[in-house]
């Protein structure tokens, strides 16, 4: 795949028609020009991640690697999604103004959403294929916390299975739920594994006590 414009080439052309454009730094350029493959960028708050992401979109679109309607941006909050969408659309308008975005492409044809909202859309579009009610809606974090709170309260009463407050137990449940989902494991698998480990530990203790007795 031939690259026609570098990140700096794009910045120079846009700056010529809009001096407010931010020229990427030497640290941002390798990220902007990285291959179209999975990558992780780790940086602190206020370091320019959103700007780097928006300029990467310009690089990909200007070099005809993708079109705006092929872009999917996902983030955790509505506020962050709104900011990212606004930034990318603004940058694409600058790209068009600089003559680097073909007239037949619409800078507004992109998708930037929260994970929850996008998952809901995918579920609604494909629910019938996998035998799920099309009216179903993924449970958000707040609703999941409420369900976990009700279950912990009902199960434990005044005798919490873990030292601490009800809230701390709920957090443990939420963390475990996340780990199960990320590792594609079920609660029953964890129960079986925990039971096996408990039996193994008990046997080791029995053997140890016998050795000490002799």
Q: Are 41 and 52 in contact (CB under 8 A)?
A: yes
In this structure, how many other beta carbons lie within 10 angstroms of the beta carbon of residue 184? 7
User: What pLDDT does residue 130 have?
Assistant: 76
Tokens matching residue 184:
């594609």
User: What pLDDT does residue 207 have?
Assistant: 64
Rounded to an integer, the average pLDDT of 34-42 is: 89
Which pLDDT band holds residue 119 (cuts at 50, 70, 90)? confident
Which pLDDT band holds residue 30 (cuts at 50, 70, 90)? very high
Which pLDDT band holds residue 78 (cuts at 50, 70, 90)? confident
How far is residue 69's CA from residue 117's CA, in Å, rounded to a whole number? 18
How far is residue 120's CA from residue 123's CA, in Å, rounded to a whole number? 5
User: What pLDDT does residue 209 have?
Assistant: 59
User: What pLDDT does residue 203 have?
Assistant: 77
User: What pLDDT does residue 107 have?
Assistant: 77
Which pLDDT band holds residue 151 (cuts at 50, 70, 90)? confident
Domains, the chain? 7-127 (3.40.50.300), 137-213 (no CATH)
- For the chain, the average pLDDT equals 82
Q: Are 53 and 93 in contact (CB under 8 A)?
A: no
């Amino acid at each position: 795949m031939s690259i026609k414009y570098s990140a700096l080439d794009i910045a120079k052309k846009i700056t010529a028609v809009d001096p407010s454009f931010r020229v990427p730094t030497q640290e941002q350029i390798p990220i902007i020009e990285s291959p179209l493959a999975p990558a992780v960028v780790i940086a602190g708050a206020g370091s320019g991640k959103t700007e780097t992401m928006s300029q990467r979109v310009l690089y990909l679109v200007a070099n005809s690697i993708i079109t705006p309607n092929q872009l999917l941006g996902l983030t955790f909050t509505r506020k962050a999604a709104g900011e990212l969408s606004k930034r990318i659309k603004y940058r694409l308008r600058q790209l068009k103004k600089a003559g680097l975005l073909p007239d037949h492409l619409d800078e507004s044809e992109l998708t930037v959403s929260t994970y929850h909202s996008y998952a809901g859309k995918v579920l609604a579009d494909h629910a019938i294929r996998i035998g799920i009610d099309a009216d179903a809606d993924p449970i958000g974090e707040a609703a999941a916390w409420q369900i976990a709170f009700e279950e912990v309260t009902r199960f434990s009463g005044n005798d919490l299975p873990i030292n601490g407050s009800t809230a701390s137990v709920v957090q443990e449940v939420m963390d475990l739920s996340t780990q199960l989902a990320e590792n594609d494991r079920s609660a029953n698998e964890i129960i079986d594994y925990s039971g096996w480990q408990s039996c193994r530990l008990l046997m080791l203790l029995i053997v140890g006590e016998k050795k000490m007795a002799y």
